[in-house]
Amino acid sequence: MILEYKGIDVFYTDQGKGSVVVLLHGFLEDSSMWQNVASELVEKNRVITIDLLGHGKTGCLGYVHKMEDMAAAVYAVLRHLKLKKYVFIGHSMGGYVALAFAKLYPDSIKGLCLLNSTYQEDDKDRKQLRARANKMAQSNYENMVRMSFANLFSVESKLKHIEAYNNALEVALKTPVQGYMAANEGMRLREDSSIFFAEAPFKKIILLGEKDTILNTEEILLFTDKHNIETFVFSEGHMSHIENKKEVNKKLLFFIE
């Protein structure tokens, strides 16, 4: 389905009945990443998936998509559907968008799952890396996407799940240059949400990958232990919904119920 928003199309799906669960994909992904998860959740829940700005079938609003901009587009869809309370599951960048949403519309959040995602802002090195990536993307986009994608899976699971890896890469390569640059810059500019997340009254969980090279798993575990935030670490990399599919679905079902 399509919602017209600020002169662009925003694509979303709406399936099932019951408690509302909103699934937000990560960088260089689109709502199709949730097909397996949604098929499990839809039996008892109303499941909404949304293509974020500059990804999938959703257009771009400029060359900077802050996480708050993406959250506002998500809110427009949920308001259009007349939905008021929901649980968010955000993969990677989708988790950053969910956190931005929770800050903007705190009364609407029942729960938030950060899947291979974090409440932390980028450190100095990653901010510089994003800036360099955006410069490279302007002249050598396909190689830049392939490089960005290569580290998301653990070495073992990339071979084990080669078909899913190739399918996900195909989606990534369809992301327009503008969508890549706008999201990358938005992530670079995002603020730290550590205190907000620790003190937030809604139900929360963080699901991580032991071999994830994108996130600082040890640092996150120290923080979540200190603040009594439920956390679980799967065996593989940044793409737990593929690499640890059964375990992820089980955890998500339990969290929502």
Q: How does the average pLDDT of the chain come out, rounded?
A: 96
Number of domains in the chain: 1
Q: Supply the pLDDT for residue 174.
A: 97
Please report which confidence band the pLDDT of residue 61 belongs to, taking 50, 70 and 90 as the band edges. very high
User: Mind listing the pLDDT tens digit for each residue in 97-143?
Assistant: 999 999 999 999 999 999 999 999 999 999 999 999 999 999 999 99
pTM, two decimal places: 0.98
pLDDT digits (tens, 9 = 90+) for 141-160: 999 999 888 889 998 998 99
Token pair belonging to 144: 């830049």
pLDDT for residue 150: 83
Number of neighbouring beta carbons within 10 Å of residue 30: 23
Are 204 and 111 in contact by the 8 Å Cβ rule? The answer is yes
- What CATH number does residue 236 fall under? 3.40.50.1820
- Parent domain of 114: 2-256
- Residues 81-106, mean pLDDT to the nearest whole number: 98
Q: Token pair of 66, please? A: 């802050």
User: How confident is the model at residue 148, as a pLDDT?
Assistant: 83
pLDDT for residue 234: 98
Give, in order, the Cα–Cα distances in Å from 162 to each of 59, 153, 180, 210, 211. Answer: 29, 10, 24, 20, 17
**Displacement of CA 116 from its chain's centroid (Å):** 8
Give the CA angle between residues 45, 73, 153 to the nearest 5°: 70
Q: CA-CA distance, 155 to 137, in Å (whole number)?
A: 25
